[in-house]
């Protein structure tokens, strides 16, 4: 049998039916139907004197947004379903950030190097680009190590700004990856592009986090999608559009 709020004078008359069809009459201003998984539907009768009944969907899980799905059954009846979807930010990531297990490593000669972002910043940047819980390692390396990794795993004999080694083989596998940033290359690119070093690190960390989740830029469509997410994420973090042309380049 559904529950009801305490009676108040002047409320609408409610008739409640139990599973066997027995009726009980009461006075109330609202009625809440609480579902087992945290969803609920409140019938607001505060405007019942005007013939208005309002429906309010809620969820006890603050990470879930409740909604109403209304389907007409016939001319004088409708069926109402309470839906639940994860809350999202403007970039599409969950409003409540996923769990992040982060390991930060430093190669030879890079610990304490100017501009290398602190762990707290890395966590903020990565979480802003996560769509699911993740276990990530971020490693900062010198040019020799960066070149060796790029040559050994990609067959390209030069150091590149960021490498992502993603280990999930299937869509449902946990997000696990190593993100390697080559400090001398990142610093050189920031100077050439005339952008703050921190902004360039933030962009590459977000870029690597998206690769860790399966995003690619092999064709134009994939590249456009990935760049759009990166741009929205960086703007939300307070940085400029990383793909905007800069005067003087």
User: Residues within the annotated binding site for Zn(2+)?
Assistant: 207, 211, 217
- Binding-site residue positions: 207, 211, 217
Does residue 2 contact residue 33 with C-beta atoms inside 8 Å?
Answer: yes
Alpha helices in 56-196, H assignment, sequence order: 119-127, 143-154, 183-192
* CA dihedral (198, 203, 205, 206) positive or negative: positive
Distance CA 232, CA 89 (A): 10
Distance CA 134, CA 131 (A): 9
Does residue 206 contact residue 129 with C-beta atoms inside 8 Å?
Answer: yes
């Amino acid at each position: 049998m559904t529950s009801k709020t305490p009676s108040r004078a002047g409320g609408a008359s409610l008739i409640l039916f139990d599973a066997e069809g027995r009726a009980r009459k009461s006075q109330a201003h609202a009625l809440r139907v609480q579902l087992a998984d945290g969803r609920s539907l409140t019938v607001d009768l505060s405007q019942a004197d005007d013939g208005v009944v309002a429906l309010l969907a809620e969820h006890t899980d603050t990470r879930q947004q409740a909604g109403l799905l209304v389907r007409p059954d016939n001319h004088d009846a409708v069926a109402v379903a309470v839906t639940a979807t994860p809350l999202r930010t403007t970039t599409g990531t969950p409003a409540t950030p996923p769990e992040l297990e982060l390991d930060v490593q430093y190669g030879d000669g890079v610990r304490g190097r100017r501009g290398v972002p602190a762990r707290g910043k890395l966590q903020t940047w990565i979480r802003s680009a996560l769509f699911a819980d993740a276990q990530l390692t971020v490693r900062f390396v010198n040019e020799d190590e960066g070149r060796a990794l790029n040559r050994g795993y990609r067959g390209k004999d030069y150091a590149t700004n960021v490498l992502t080694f993603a280990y999930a083989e299937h869509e449902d596998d946990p997000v696990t990856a190593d993100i390697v940033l080559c400090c001398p290359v990142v610093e050189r690119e920031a100077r050439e592009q005339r952008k703050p070093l921190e902004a360039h690190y933030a962009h590459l960390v977000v870029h690597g986090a998206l690769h860790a989740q399966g995003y690619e830029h092999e064709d134009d469509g994939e590249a456009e999608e990935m760049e759009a997410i990166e741009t929205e994420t960086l703007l939300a973090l307070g940085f400029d559009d990383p793909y905007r042309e800069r005067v003087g380049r």
